[in-house]
């Protein structure tokens, strides 16, 4: 008898690592999102490869997430399987001036490991609230640094389940972009190369950047970080503020009064609220300045 999708999935991933109809608001920093049909948390690369193989066999759409820090999931949820690479695939090791880390490691974890080893170059990432996998995919950056400055190589899994080590220069890393999504690679981990530094100086810089974030960003509210990409030659937050939209609200979603580049969940915001707010902000800035703004936040699922 032909086995069904669930039977095959439970054969390759421990049942405790699979949730059905899992609310995605529990797994995004926006605290927004309807249920995913399946939410899978593989413990290792083998489980991941098998889960992906089964999903592909049964034509189940998949989407890979870390801690959901740059993600807006539709209110009706995601038809398919969300595969989370987070704490269960979040180990790292430091050797010399290199840190080899799995995709589920948080950037803060890696930054602290670098500090402990007196390695400099990763301070910029200490406050970015994402995981290494997501940071590699979008070449995350802040305060003048970005992932491409420190990446040596990246370990990926292809659609066919083959594992490859790719040098960073082959990943087409640009402003918030890489070739990884179009190649449909899954990032498994990366090697980060840093330089020797002085612990007290590294700590001072991390503390300084942390203080800047606390003072300038609305960290007290759920959000997905910077909502818009930086338009060439401009700053998204300034364009929005200059259009008089600081504090602009749709339902439970608001343009932060602290930093106009952030859309925050002021309380029970829906994905529809956020999308409508983004639409109106984009239209007003375009009307006022002629500049077209693009969301940086990834949008998935049914809205």
* Average pLDDT of the segment spanning 270-298: 97
Reported as half-sphere exposure (CB side, CA atoms, 13 A), residue 144 has a value of 4
Residue 194 tokens read as 């840093």
Judged on CB neighbours under 10 Å (0-12, 13-18, 19+), 288 is middle
Over pLDDT 70: what percentage of the chain?
A: 99
Q: Catalytic one among 53, 56, 79, 176?
A: 176
Note the residue count of the chain: 303
d(CA 51, CA 11): 9
Q: Catalytic one among 47, 123, 146, 296?
A: 296
Going by pLDDT thresholds of 50, 70 and 90, the confidence category of residue 1 is very low
**32 and 73 Cβ atoms separated by less than 8 Å:** yes
Q: What confidence tens digit (pLDDT) does each residue in 152-175 have?
A: 999 999 988 899 999 999 999 998
Over 90: is that where the pLDDT of 3 sits? no
Over 60: is that where the pLDDT of 146 sits? yes
Please tell me whether the overall predicted TM-score, pTM, comes out greater than 0.95 for this model. Answer: no
Over 70: is that where the pLDDT of 80 sits? yes
d(CA 36, CA 23): 6
The reply to whether 296 belongs to the active site is yes
Q: Give the chain's count of helices (H) and strands (E).
A: 8, 19
Sign of CA dihedral 13, 134, 129, 258: negative
Q: Give the domains, in start order, of the chain with CATH numbers.
A: 5-87 (3.30.43.10), 90-201 (3.30.465.10), 217-300 (3.90.78.10)
**111 and 125 Cβ atoms separated by less than 8 Å:** yes
Going by pLDDT thresholds of 50, 70 and 90, the confidence category of residue 97 is very high
The reply to whether 176 belongs to the active site is yes
**End-to-end CA separation in angstroms for the chain:** 37
Going by pLDDT thresholds of 50, 70 and 90, the confidence category of residue 2 is low
How does 18-51 read in b/e, with b if 16+ C-beta sit within 10 Å?
A: bbeebbbbebbbbbbbbbbbbbbbbeebebbbbb
Q: What confidence tens digit (pLDDT) does each residue in 222-265 have?
A: 999 999 999 999 999 999 999 999 999 999 999 999 999 999 99
Over 80: is that where the pLDDT of 144 sits? yes
Biggest CA-to-CA distance, the chain: 65
**32 and 62 Cβ atoms separated by less than 8 Å:** no
Over 80: is that where the pLDDT of 213 sits? yes
d(CA 288, CA 282): 10
**134 and 70 Cβ atoms separated by less than 8 Å:** yes
Helix (H, G, I), strand (E, B) or coil at 23: strand
Q: Catalytic one among 69, 178, 226, 256?
A: 226
Over 50: is that where the pLDDT of 128 sits? yes
d(CA 189, CA 163): 11
């Amino acid at each position: 008898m032909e086995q069904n999708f669930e039977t095959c999935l439970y054969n390759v991933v421990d049942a405790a690592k699979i949730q059905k109809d899992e609310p995605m608001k529990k797994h995004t920093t926006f605290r927004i999102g309807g249920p995913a049909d399946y939410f899978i948390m593989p413990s290792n690369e083998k489980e991941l490869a098998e889960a992906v193989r089964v999903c592909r066999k049964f034509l189940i759409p998949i989407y890979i997430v870390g801690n959901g820090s740059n993600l807006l999931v539709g209110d009706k949820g995601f038809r398919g399987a969300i595969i989370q690479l987070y704490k269960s695939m979040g180990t790292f090791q430091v050797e010399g001036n290199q840190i080899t880390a799995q995709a589920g490691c948080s950037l803060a974890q890696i930054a602290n490991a670098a500090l402990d080893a007196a390695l400099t170059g990763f301070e910029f990432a200490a406050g970015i609230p994402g995981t290494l996998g997501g940071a590699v995919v979008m070449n995350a950056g802040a305060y003048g640094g970005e992932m491409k400055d420190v990446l040596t190589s990246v370990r990926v899994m292809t659609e066919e389940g083959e594992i490859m080590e790719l040098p960073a220069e082959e990943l087409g890393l640009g402003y918030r972009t890489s070739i990884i999504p179009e190649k449909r690679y899954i990032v498994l981990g990366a090697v980060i190369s840093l330089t020797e530094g002085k612990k007290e100086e590294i700590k001072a810089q991390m503390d300084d950047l942390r203080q800047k974030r606390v003072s300038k960003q609305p960290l007290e509210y759920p959000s997905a970080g910077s909502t818009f990409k930086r338009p060439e030659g401009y700053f998204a937050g300034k364009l929005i503020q200059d259009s008089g939209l600081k504090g602009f609200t749709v339902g439970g979603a608001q343009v932060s009064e602290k930093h106009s580049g952030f859309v925050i969940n002021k309380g029970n915001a829906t994905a529809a609220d956020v999308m409508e707010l983004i639409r109106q902000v984009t239209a007003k800035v375009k009307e006022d300045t002629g500049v077209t703004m693009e969301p940086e936040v990834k949008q998935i699922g049914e809205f």
